[in-house]
Structure 1
């Protein structure tokens, strides 16, 4: 009897086969039901229930450069202000080989569809070499050297001015503004150029020299120096002997401070000292004796006329809230202005580059007073430097008139 009961509970082999077949059929039916239900669930779900895809942007900046760090801060503020989820992925810019490797990592491993940089023309050229094969746009926010435009690339976007723009504004200021300020004719100006022997300062000095000579101004000589040179006192004595009445210098903030110290020790000072580039507009120079009254030819500072740059003061307030201090120079404002325009454009990769090429905005549109119109090389034709002067511990725009925040201080 017990054996019969066990056989009834366990079932015959044929019964077991039937049970297995029934279970398999039930599983198949459930799969079919789920597959048919999925499209209906998708249609029923509201659009806002689907999280938007995250946009990934690469940033290649040297960690050790104060100028590049200030530009990066402007980029970060533009990204934080963006209306859709965006992740900014950092890459380190050092030697060219490192920049190439970082650009490839950001695009291939981090899936970035847009790269920003870098404040350094050597890094920018290496990044351009990478993006030509990766086929993503590269936005060089602040480097000015003409070498960037000598290498054709359909992926370059440069919102800021060229070195040639610096030469045009320098010539205009030395011909139309500063002779009257000094109380002497233009013909009396004797101009000397001094610059660091690296790509961006060299490009700025060469551009200024060419435009000054074209304008018929007297250029005594153009001297070079090594980065952080110990020869600054000797160079100052040479300029003093030559009788320079206007000195134009392009170099790092350390070399700018060294030049001012050497002039104080001489003791000699030409009536006009004009710093070329963003190093001369950094807030750190405010602690250097002799900076007051010096001119700076650079991107628009925060103290630019509100009629031209209505976004400068709101940007300074935004920067203060984010970083707990005032902007360290106009470089962050320039980077923020250019990055906002790029990030507002639709599309990715080539579509983004084409969209930015179609943007046509007059001067005074961007927060720092620039406009937007790219040429076929990706250069913004409506970004120009302005002449500022150190007044009460900060650079203040004084020329052209549309940018002037206030008058030029007396000599």
Structure 2
């Protein structure tokens, strides 16, 4: 009897152990990725829009069988409303949730703070949307960025002025007067700084630079200073509310600049055109890819738009969701190869991962700089508001129409 009892006990222990092992094995079939975005607070509009792109890429991958032979990917969200919250949420994801890889984050200040925590913890941080150059200039071991930094926007500003705008104005490059109005966070400050550096090399005359707080409710002094400078080209760097305010008060105060070029942020959002109406038509915008682009150069773009509308019941609100979708698909490709979230293995595989321009939904290629983690093949495009739609106009391979200049009415 004792032998039978002992046998039953041993058998039960074996069953329990087997069930426990099966549960542990099941856990390894789900790869958990931290997703750190401003999902509430002042930055929530584009933070949520950015997260949607990540979410769609993951849902699409899981629906198609997962990665690495059937493993599902699960997003563990963190709400980073500002830099302090970004540090706290990164610590929570890493230390309480056991996350080894984090994606984010739209805002440069949030990315800068959260990636610092990730670096100290040996956790790989993938940035899909924040543009401040110093995020990757630190040459951290555990950061990768798929989107272009702010300095790339500045390069396109200058190149577009040099190659296209100057001829339209009928002036020599050295005679073109350029002004800058920018919000004063790292986003606006970096773009303005690099524009100054590049303009000096090209002998382009910067006649006025006007920094301001994005939270201001009055830009009249900025506009009057710009009006006095009489620029041929105005480069604006704004979030949504200040972009709308700048446009409205410019009309009220009679600031008429022949060529206005935005820099992403508020100038590429549907909310901007909804708030400003016909006044926005003609405005150029150097920014992330939007949705009226050459679809032969952006394979997967139309599929993304359909996925977005099906899930959220509306058109994409800006290109931020698209670039995060593209960035997450790169990570999913790397996960498919590696099969786990180990930071060192993912980083090693990512540095070997390449894609040519014109082969992704954004049109960007992929080649990570081994020193900085920056994708060297990402780049902004020039779009223009035409009849209430933001369409790609430059460079030619990405464009759907030529840029339109209405200089006689300025």
- Aligned with residue 56 of structure 2, among 77, 83, 86: 77
From the superposition, tell whether residues 76 and 37 of structure 1 become closer, same or farther in structure 2 (CA, over 3 Å). closer
Query: Which residue number in structure 2 is paired with residue 125 of structure 1?
Result: 112
The answer to whether 1:397 aligns with 2:392 is: yes
Q: Is the 8 A contact 1:161 1:383 kept in 2?
A: yes
The answer to whether 1:29 aligns with 2:7 is: yes
From the superposition, tell whether residues 154 and 187 of structure 1 become closer, same or farther in structure 2 (CA, over 3 Å). same
Query: Which residue number in structure 2 is paired with residue 16 of structure 1?
Result: none
Once the two structures are overlaid, the 10-residue window that deviates more, 260-269 or 221-230, is: 221-230
Once the two structures are overlaid, the 10-residue window that deviates more, 319-328 or 204-213, is: 204-213
- Aligned with residue 33 of structure 2, among 57, 62, 85: 57
- Structure 2 unaligned segments of length 5 or more: list them: 67-71
From the superposition, tell whether residues 38 and 144 of structure 1 become closer, same or farther in structure 2 (CA, over 3 Å). closer
Compute the displacement of 1:223 (Å).
1.4
In structure 2, what is the Cα distance between the partners aligned to 1:169 and 1:251? 17
Compute the displacement of 1:41 (Å).
11
From the superposition, tell whether residues 401 and 27 of structure 1 become closer, same or farther in structure 2 (CA, over 3 Å). same
In structure 2, what is the Cα distance between the partners aligned to 1:103 and 1:228? 26
Once the two structures are overlaid, the 10-residue window that deviates more, 182-191 or 244-253, is: 182-191
- Aligned with residue 136 of structure 1, among 123, 147, 150: 123
Q: May I ask how many residue pairs the two structures share in their alignment?
A: 384
Compute the displacement of 1:240 (Å).
1.2
In structure 2, what is the Cα distance between the partners aligned to 1:229 and 1:32? 73
In structure 2, what is the Cα distance between the partners aligned to 1:40 and 1:209? 66
Q: Is the 8 A contact 1:278 1:329 kept in 2?
A: no
In structure 2, what is the Cα distance between the partners aligned to 1:168 and 1:311? 27
Query: Which residue number in structure 2 is paired with residue 254 of structure 1?
Result: 241
Query: Which residue number in structure 2 is paired with residue 6 of structure 1?
Result: none
Compute the displacement of 1:57 (Å).
1.4
Specify the structure having the higher radius of gyration (Cα).
Answer: 1
In structure 2, what is the Cα distance between the partners aligned to 1:40 and 1:255? 61
Q: Is the 8 A contact 2:237 2:265 kept in 1?
A: no
The answer to whether 1:222 aligns with 2:222 is: no
Q: What is the 5 A alignment of 1:11-410?
A: 23-31=1-9, 53-62=29-38, 63-64=40-41, 65=43, 66-83=45-62, 84=66, 85-287=72-274, 288-289=276-277, 290-345=279-334, 346=338, 347-348=340-341, 349-376=343-370, 377-410=372-405
SS of 2:293's equivalent in the other structure is coil
Q: Is the 8 A contact 2:173 2:203 kept in 1?
A: no
In structure 2, what is the Cα distance between the partners aligned to 1:25 and 1:378? 64
In structure 1, what is the Cα distance between the partners aligned to 2:200 and 2:223? 22
Once the two structures are overlaid, the 10-residue window that deviates more, 226-235 or 126-135, is: 226-235
SS of 2:354's equivalent in the other structure is coil
In structure 1, what is the Cα distance between the partners aligned to 2:194 and 2:348? 30
From the superposition, tell whether residues 39 and 232 of structure 1 become closer, same or farther in structure 2 (CA, over 3 Å). closer
From the superposition, tell whether residues 225 and 40 of structure 1 become closer, same or farther in structure 2 (CA, over 3 Å). closer
In structure 2, what is the Cα distance between the partners aligned to 1:174 and 1:359? 34
Q: Is the 8 A contact 1:193 1:209 kept in 2?
A: no
From the superposition, tell whether residues 157 and 36 of structure 1 become closer, same or farther in structure 2 (CA, over 3 Å). closer
From the superposition, tell whether residues 410 and 121 of structure 1 become closer, same or farther in structure 2 (CA, over 3 Å). closer
In structure 2, what is the Cα distance between the partners aligned to 1:100 and 1:73? 22
In structure 1, what is the Cα distance between the partners aligned to 2:35 and 2:96? 14
- Structure 1 unaligned segments of length 5 or more: list them: 1-22
SS of 1:195's equivalent in the other structure is strand
TM-score if structure 1 supplies the norm length? 0.88
Once the two structures are overlaid, the 10-residue window that deviates more, 274-283 or 182-191, is: 182-191
Q: Is the 8 A contact 1:68 1:118 kept in 2?
A: yes
In structure 2, what is the Cα distance between the partners aligned to 1:57 and 1:41? 26
